[in-house]
A and B are shown apart, each in its own frame.
Chain A
Amino acid sequence: AQSVSQHNHHVILSEAASLELGCNYSYGGTVNLFWYVQYPGQHLQLLLKYFSGDPLVKGIKGFEAEFIKSKFSFNLRKPSVQWSDTAEYFCAVRDAGNMLTFGGGTRLMVKP
């Protein structure tokens, strides 16, 4: 079975700091990769996705992620975070069976 690991459970940053959240998955075949964000009390929203092509993916709100196939990783980055980025971030992987498996989430708190 597919598994997705997010190693950082809680991250606290000051505004303007750079962000990198780790994500690793276990599936060895072709995958689609996603990052979702969940603001407090809200539903999941898609930040970015990787299906194929350029492994560096740009998403909304200044986020980007890099797919490194050899490392089974899809880390999320943002050069300068804002207070409004405070949220829970979920990495997710879809395998050939079209099932989306989520990582455990990373809670980001940005201090103003």
Chain B
Amino acid sequence: DTAVSQTPKYLVTQMGNDKSIKCEQNLGHDTMYWYKQDSKKFLKIMFSYNNKELIINETVPNRFSPKSPDKAHLNLHINSLELGDSAVYFCASSQAKLYGYTFGSGTRLTVV
């Protein structure tokens, strides 16, 4: 079983569309995250979320919104997609501060 799974793996869409990326973890972790990796491989935290608190990186446009139906899922919804949103998006999870993060395999988003 994959510990942190993301779908889809690849997503190609037109500017202006709205899209979602799903993330599920079966590790029982209490915190989930979304990271964006740009074309230069730089990784930036977008959101951190547990069942009590959402922490948003203030540089993330409000077109991006995390949605968590339950503790094991943290989906990323993006409105009005722009060319600059093209990147690889990684979901991750952790158990408080006990261990490291476990990453999903990434979703390569291409906006055309």
Residue of A nearest to B105 (CB): A43
Q: In whole angstroms, how far apart are the Cα atoms of A36 and B105 in the complex?
A: 14
Q: In the bound complex, do residue B33 and residue A100 qualify as a contact, i.e. CB atoms below 8 Å apart?
A: yes
Q: Does A90 contact B (CB under 8 A)?
A: yes
In whole angstroms, what is the CA distance A28 to B102 when docked?
A: 25
Looking at the assembled complex, report how far the CB atom of A12 sits from the nearest CB atom of chain B, in whole angstroms. Answer: 16
The winner among B48, B100, B104, B105 for most chain A CB atoms within 10 A is B100
A interface residue count range (under 10 / 10 to 19 / 20 to 34 / 35 or more): 20 to 34
Minimum distance in angstroms from B35 CB to a CB of chain A: 8
What chain B residues lie within 8 Å of A49 (beta carbons)? 99-100
Cross-interface CB contact of B45 among A38, A45, A100, cutoff 8 Å: A100
Kindly list chain A residues whose C-beta atoms are within 8 Å of the C-beta of B48. Answer: 98-99
Query: In terms of DSSP, what is the predominant structure of the interface of chain B?
Result: strand
B43 A46 Cβ-Cβ under 8 A: no
Provide the residues of chain B in CB contact with A100, threshold 8 Å: 33, 45, 92, 94, 101
Q: How far is the CA of A103 from the CA of B96 in the complex (A)?
A: 22
Number of interface residues of B (CB under 8 A): 24
Q: Are B43 and A105 in contact (CB under 8 A)?
A: yes
8 Å CB contacts to A: which residues of B19-66?
31, 33, 35, 40-45, 48, 55
User: Quick check: A105 and B41 within 8 Å, CB to CB?
Assistant: yes
Question: A102 contacts B43, CB within 8 Å?
Answer: yes
Interface 1/0s, chain B 7-28, versus A by CB < 8 A?
0000000000000000000000
Asked if A107 and B101 sit within 8 Å, CB to CB, the answer is no
> Which residues of chain B are near A94, meaning CB under 8 Å?
97
User: Contact residues of B with A, CB < 8 Å?
Assistant: 31, 33, 35, 40-45, 48, 55, 90, 92, 94, 96-97, 99-106
Q: Which of A's residues lie within 8 Å of B, judged by CB?
A: 32, 34, 36, 38, 42-46, 49, 88, 90, 94, 97-102, 104-105, 107
Pull 11 A–B residue pairs with CB atoms less than 8 Å apart, ordered by A: A32-B100, A34-B101, A36-B103, A38-B41, A43-B90, A43-B105, A49-B100, A98-B94, A98-B96, A100-B94, A102-B35
